[in-house]
Amino acid sequence: MTYELYYWDGIPGRGEFVRLALEQAGADYVDVVRSDGGMARMMALMKNKTAGFVPFAPPFLKDGDILVSHAANILLYLGEKLGLAPRDEAGRIEANGLQLSITDFVVEIHDTHHPIGVSLYYEDQRDEALRRAENFIEERLPKFLGYFEKQLVRNSEGQIHAVGDMLTYVDLSLFHLVEGLRYAFPKAMTAAEPGYPLLVALNAQVRELPRIKAYLASERRLAFNEEGIFRHYPELDRA
Amino acid sequence: MTYELYYWDGIPGRGEFVRLALEQAGADYVDVVRSDGGMARMMALMKNKTAGFVPFAPPFLKDGDILVSHAANILLYLGEKLGLAPRDEAGRIEANGLQLSITDFVVEIHDTHHPIGVSLYYEDQRDEALRRAENFIEERLPKFLGYFEKQLVRNSEGQIHAVGDMLTYVDLSLFHLVEGLRYAFPKAMTAAEPGYPLLVALNAQVRELPRIKAYLASERRLAFNEEGIFRHYPELDRA
């Protein structure tokens, strides 16, 4: 069965955390909205008035009759099937907890450019964004990066992994977090990275995985831009 | 085995979503931080430098050697054990997705009074809070309440439930959402509630469950206040 990933076209966004897992596993999937008639299919699912469950927002995944919403929930669902989740229950629960901390971090990253409302343009909340981004770079960025770094320190023996002794979807998501932060806040990240050597090494390690490397070089990988979560507004960045 | 719930004392907060499930199931649990020496025990777990996994923040649950972080992850873990999760896989995935939409909503509710940074006092981000709360009441509150109401409409036959035909932890969380919103935004909710009859009816139905009723009348239930997620600042509220 082909997995159907539903997510907006044009941005990596929250869908990217799922794409990376599907790509690393070499899974059979279709990025629905990027295929012919895909946008209409996504809208039809989201406006369904009779089905039992409709997702609040993309991304969501369809696997036959199973409909899974939220990146963390999708990764929890796919993790075992794709061989990208720990084999033991405690590890799977831990992986989901770490992924939910990534989710929390992603909200805060997004809100640096949208602190007042998602319906407003960035330009209409720029003053508040300047203040929020300053607080983010001073306090939240080191808090989250420090948390994930410590998790890698506590866990890793030899190979660098977030959970257990194998590659999991959490590692792929941490790779993407660092990528996105480098795009959005190059000055802050250049200054910060020496403090997080395992996160930096994990990023480099994931980038060299053959399937990830091929994916990153393909047209399936969308570039970061100022429509997504990780946006580069130079005025929000600082060392 | 007694479940150990770790959460800050003094506020219902995110811990409350877990407490409601434990209470409704009549589970054997201890609210660790509210017991003697509990705060020190929570801090010791959070500062552990050798354990494989340390939660980013409370709430978390300990069940023997299993450590579960994040309210949604805890409810996913407890749901089946406590008989508060759907019996089929598709239903459990759907319940987790709905709970994650509740998580998303809770972040937005919290950020009405903290749009710039959690480390700053409300008074130091009041201007931004006024703007964010206005956007929240006009756009986000109806979007989320409308989403959950539609889910109840699509799903419910006779008894009102979010998923399937039984009471789940999602119903308990939706009860608490309405309670918290009524506390924080009484004018906005008085105006809004007629538009969400099933959510209102679900709230009333959950409140009358014998164990929930007893819990709400007990000292175990903490009152809402201006330290938690749902805060009543009259200047942020409007019809």
Q: Which two tokens stand for residue A226?
A: 């100022």
Query: Is B214 inside any structural domain?
Result: no
Domain count, chain B: 2
pLDDT of A141 above 90: yes
Query: Is B220 inside any structural domain?
Result: no
Query: Is B94 inside any structural domain?
Result: yes
Q: Which two tokens stand for residue A159?
A: 């190979």
Distance CA A237, CA A182 (A): 10
Mean pLDDT of chain A: 96
One-letter amino acid for residue A235 of the chain: E
pLDDT at B50: 78
Contact B134, B238 (CB under 8 A): yes
pLDDT at A49: 80
Q: Could you tell me the residue range of the domain that residue A75 belongs to?
A: 3-82
Which residue out of A46, A73, A135 would a mutagenesis test of the B interface target, given it has the greatest number of B Cβ atoms within 10 Å?
A: A73
Mean pLDDT of chain B: 96
| Mean pLDDT, rounded, for A45-71 | 93
Pairing between strand B60-63 and B66-69? antiparallel
Distance from CA of A223 to the nearest CA of B (A): 26
Among A82, A110, A141, identify where a domain stops: A82
Cβ neighbours of A140 in B, within 8 Å: 117
Are both B171 and B57 inside the same structural domain?
no
Distance from CA of B126 to the nearest CA of A (A): 12
Mark which residues 35-54 of A lie under 8 Å from B by CB: 49-54
pLDDT of A19 above 80: yes
Query: Is B73 inside any structural domain?
Result: yes
Are both A97 and A33 inside the same structural domain?
no
pLDDT of A208 above 80: yes
Cβ neighbours of A55 in B, within 8 Å: 97
B148-207 confidence digits (pLDDT tens): 999 999 997 767 999 999 999 999 999 999 999 999 999 999 999 999 999 999 999 999
Which residue out of B6, B89, B99, B100 would a mutagenesis test of the A interface target, given it has the greatest number of A Cβ atoms within 10 Å?
A: B100
Q: Which residue has the tokens 């939706």?
A: B174
Omega before residue A86 within 30° of 0, cis: no
B8-60 confidence digits (pLDDT tens): 999 999 999 999 999 999 999 999 999 999 999 999 999 988 778 999 999 99
Are both B24 and B97 inside the same structural domain?
no
The upper half-sphere exposure of residue B62, i.e. CA atoms within 13 Å in the direction of its Cβ, equals 17
pLDDT at A105: 98
Cβ–Cβ gap B131/A135 under 8 Å: no
Q: Is A194 at the interface with chain B, CB within 8 A?
A: no
Are both B58 and B143 inside the same structural domain?
no
Query: Is B109 inside any structural domain?
Result: yes
A92-132 confidence digits (pLDDT tens): 999 999 999 999 999 999 999 999 999 999 999 999 999 99
Are both B95 and B78 inside the same structural domain?
no
Query: Is B116 inside any structural domain?
Result: yes
Q: Is A94 at the interface with chain B, CB within 8 A?
A: yes
A145-182 confidence digits (pLDDT tens): 999 999 999 997 767 999 999 999 999 999 999 999 99
Cβ neighbours of A68 in B, within 8 Å: 93, 97
Among A57, A82, A107, identify where a domain stops: A82
Spell out the alpha helix ranges (H) of chain A. 15-24, 38-46, 71-82, 89-113, 126-135, 141-155, 169-184, 186-192, 197-207, 210-216
Contact B163, B155 (CB under 8 A): yes
Are both B166 and B49 inside the same structural domain?
no
Among B82, B97, B126, identify where a domain stops: B82
Cβ–Cβ gap A97/B147 under 8 Å: no
Cβ–Cβ gap B76/A65 under 8 Å: no
Cβ–Cβ gap B54/A154 under 8 Å: yes
Distance CA A133, CA A112 (A): 5
One-letter amino acid for residue B12 of the chain: P
Are both B127 and B198 inside the same structural domain?
yes
Query: Is B45 inside any structural domain?
Result: yes
Least CB–CB distance from B90: residue in A66, A98, A139: A66
Are both A138 and A75 inside the same structural domain?
no
Are both A74 and A99 inside the same structural domain?
no
Distance from CA of A31 to the nearest CA of B (A): 20
Are both B48 and B97 inside the same structural domain?
no
Instruction: Assign residue A30 the CATH number of its domain.
Output: 3.40.30.10
Are both B116 and B151 inside the same structural domain?
yes
Instruction: Assign residue B187 the CATH number of its domain.
Output: 1.20.1050.10
Cβ neighbours of B120 in A, within 8 Å: 135
B104-163 confidence digits (pLDDT tens): 999 999 999 999 999 999 999 999 999 999 999 999 999 999 999 999 999 977 679 999
Cβ neighbours of B98 in A, within 8 Å: 53
Cβ neighbours of B90 in A, within 8 Å: 65-67
For B97, counting Cβ atoms within 10 Å of its Cβ (0-12 exposed, 13-18 middle, 19+ buried), the class is: buried
Query: Is B222 inside any structural domain?
Result: no
Omega before residue B59 within 30° of 0, cis: yes
Are both A101 and A58 inside the same structural domain?
no
| Mean pLDDT, rounded, for A65-91 | 97
